[in-house]
Amino acid sequence: MEVTVAKTAGFCFGVRRAVEQVYEQIGRGLRPVYTLGPIIHNEEVVRDLEDKGVIVLNDVKELENVREGTVIIRSHGVGREVYRQIERQGLGLTDATCPFVKKIHRIVEEQNNLGRRVIIIGDRLHPEVEGIRGWGDERTLVIKDEKEIDDLPDLTGEKLCIVSQTTFNYNKFKDLVEKFLKRGYDIIVLNTICNATQERQVEAERIASQVEAMIVIGGKNSSNTRKLYEICRKECRNTYYIQTLGDLDPESVSSVRSVGITAGASTPKNIIEEVHTNVRAIK
């Protein structure tokens, strides 16, 4: 069996940086250490950190009850009000927001101050998008598909700025932007999908088009992994979404001659290697 592993599979720069910062805090012996939400969308990594004493705050309301310690903002980022709350409560702060996400925060704040209505293309329930929206105002909109564009009121006469969730599907982003442009609005379009995401999606699509089965590894709640799966599924009918090796049915790939493997940005290298080794051994 021929097995191809995507070169871009696994931790991206922002995720690796965030995870390293949490382990650094643990190493300093400072307690307690909190992360505002799971540091990444990978249950194995989060479980290991919890075993080492890290406490996950599931939402901002839980933050209100913290009286001491250090709060780590994960790579997804948060809105400006969360920073203010941490400062008001006198807590330590480690900001592990991905630099690419930080850039979007600055863009949204700047364009909002210039009077433009910001439109975020992405999933409104994703923590990254919630954080981005927190740098805009009450006019800020989140759009994820064509239907939501059709449901919008007429924005003629308004100045608009379009940005994107960093992990959004690039081709879908282009299609949605085109639909906005056809309406003749006064729009600034800023493609804020990170390069690593684009490269990962392009490589996954290419591999999936060349193999008989495709394996996509990542956390169940990982937005970027879900998009990888959708992209691969279009190219390869036999595409499987797994979180760990234990989720893979060996029979599903036992009769094929070629398998491709890719992984989301929150998937540790050891999990990818474990899947790769075991798939190669299937006969």
Query: Regarding beta strands 186-189 and 70-73, do their DSSP bridges make them parallel or antiparallel, or are they unpaired?
Result: unpaired
Q: For residue 125, what are its two tokens?
A: 């329930």
Residue 94 vs residues 17, 39, 64, 68, 192: alpha-carbon distances, Å: 12, 12, 17, 14, 24
Q: Which of 20, 44, 50, 128 is catalytic?
A: 128
Q: For residue 121, what are its two tokens?
A: 């293309």
Residues 188 and 121: their CA atoms lie apart, in Å, by: 13
Query: Regarding beta strands 213-217 and 239-242, do their DSSP bridges make them parallel or antiparallel, or are they unpaired?
Result: parallel
Catalytic site includes residue 199: no
Q: For residue 100, what are its two tokens?
A: 């690419």
**Residue matched to tokens 């992405």:** 122
Q: What is the DSSP string of 120-168?
A: EES-TTSHHHHHHHTTS-TT-EEE-SHHHHHTSPP-TT-EEEEEE-TTS
Instruction: Read off the amino acid at residue 207.
Output: I
Handedness of CA 195, 199, 202, 208 (dihedral sign): negative
Residues 164 and 177: their CA atoms lie apart, in Å, by: 10
Locate the DSSP E strands across 6-153.
33-36, 55-57, 70-73, 92-95, 117-121, 141-143
Q: Is the peptide bond before 32 cis (omega within 30 degrees of 0)?
A: yes
User: Which residues are the active-site residues?
Assistant: 128
